[in-house]
Amino acid sequence: MKTLFLTNEYPPTIYGGAGVHVDYLSRELAKLIEVEVRCYGKDGREPRLDLPTLKATGFGCDTSAYTAPKPLHAVFAAIQRGLDWNTTRIEADIVHLHTWYAHLGGIIAKLNYGLPLVLTVHSLEPLRPWKREQLAGGYDFSCWVEKTAIEMADAVIAVSKGTRDDIHRHFHVAEERMHVIHNGIDLDEYRHVRDTSALEKFGVDPRQPFVLFVGRITRQKGIIHLVRAIEHMAPGFQVVLCAGAPDTPGIAGEMKAAVADAQAKRKGVVWIDQFVTTPEKIQLYSHADVFCCPSIYEPFGIINLEAMACETAVVASAVGGIKEVVVDGETGCLVQLEQMAESPFEATDPAQFARDLAGRVNHLMADPGMRVRMAKAGRRRAEEHFGWGAIAKRTVELYRSLLPRR
């Protein structure tokens, strides 16, 4: 059996949870079946000598001649790559899509090559209306192509039960075509380490406790809410924000102003606004006393799982798939987020949400014994429920169930 992954993100270009998912799942699947990845990036890829059953090819796109409005360049580049993926001969049994950027390519492959179409939902466009800031009218296209692909897919994989429920609310998908397969974690790679060289490199004092955030600067991740919560946090610990890749100049400006304000009011606010390697990220997770995830929309929340695997207690908003990863009172603390019905990507009371985040952080930072218990429980939960090997086996079983339909 051979599966073809179509995806925006793939190493070395990963900026979100979907890219992490594609990276690890493709490697684990390649131990069971043949895997081909067609992705964005520079043309071509070096073959992996350790995994001969995994082939990845980057497809570049020259947008220099585009005279369309700038926000539409990414949309038209996605359309172009979808065509290029298909005009390059496809020899696979299954085509598997990741994020809306790949959806048109998958639609074309299903209709022209007669391939069963599998689509993993990492997020949903109707629940990310702030994307209009980034794509302008292209957001209407991304919504359309996502709806079309989801409703014609032979199998739709939701990365959490919460995501499955969101899909049913916004799309027409028969129950038998819906499958919940969680994200996973490489338990050998993500584990507590003693090395602190990355902390010193980025200006974090390893002798002082700290709260950590890791993620993109985007409305979805709620980073601005966390920065505004800093003024309500108790003294005596650092706040480390490992945050980069802003979605738009607008949110980049908001982040810069909010961090400057927090740093003016409190010592020990460290903003790492650059790319960090996975080993450096693992060091940050390992030595943080609390990891904070203030997302306002999160289909799964793989960063929480990464922190738990590195034995760090978590404070996170009780939204989406986070509630299936973090066990309130056992592996961390969940913070309720009231959202406006007419605008579900915003908090009804942002100031209260910021205070609630700070309150939970303060509670854990004041209780070392509780933090240790939660850290150990988090690692156990990661080991028992979220290994990539089991997730790959379930994915292959799903593939096999689709092949007789051809």
Phi-psi label, residue 218: left if phi above 0, alpha if psi -120 to 50, beta otherwise: beta
Structural fold of domain 2-184+387-405: Rossmann fold (3.40.50)
Domains 2-184+387-405 and 197-385 share a fold: yes
pLDDT tens for residues 4-16? 999 999 988 887 7
CATH top-level class for 197-385?
Answer: alpha beta
Under the banding of pLDDT at 50, 70 and 90, the label for residue 248 is confident
Answer yes or no: pTM beyond 0.85. no
pLDDT in the model for residue 338: 77
pLDDT tens for residues 272-303? 998 899 999 999 999 999 999 999 988 888 99
Alpha helix (H) residue ranges in 100-230: 103-113, 131-135, 138-152, 161-170, 197-201, 223-229
What is the domain partition of the chain in residue ranges?
2-184+387-405, 197-385
d(CA 104, CA 126): 17
pLDDT tens for residues 199-215? 999 999 999 999 999 99
Asked whether the predicted pLDDT for residue 255 surpasses 80, the reply is yes
Burial class (CB in 10 A: 0-12, 13-18, 19+), 264: exposed
Closest CA to 237 of 199, 275, 215, 209: 209
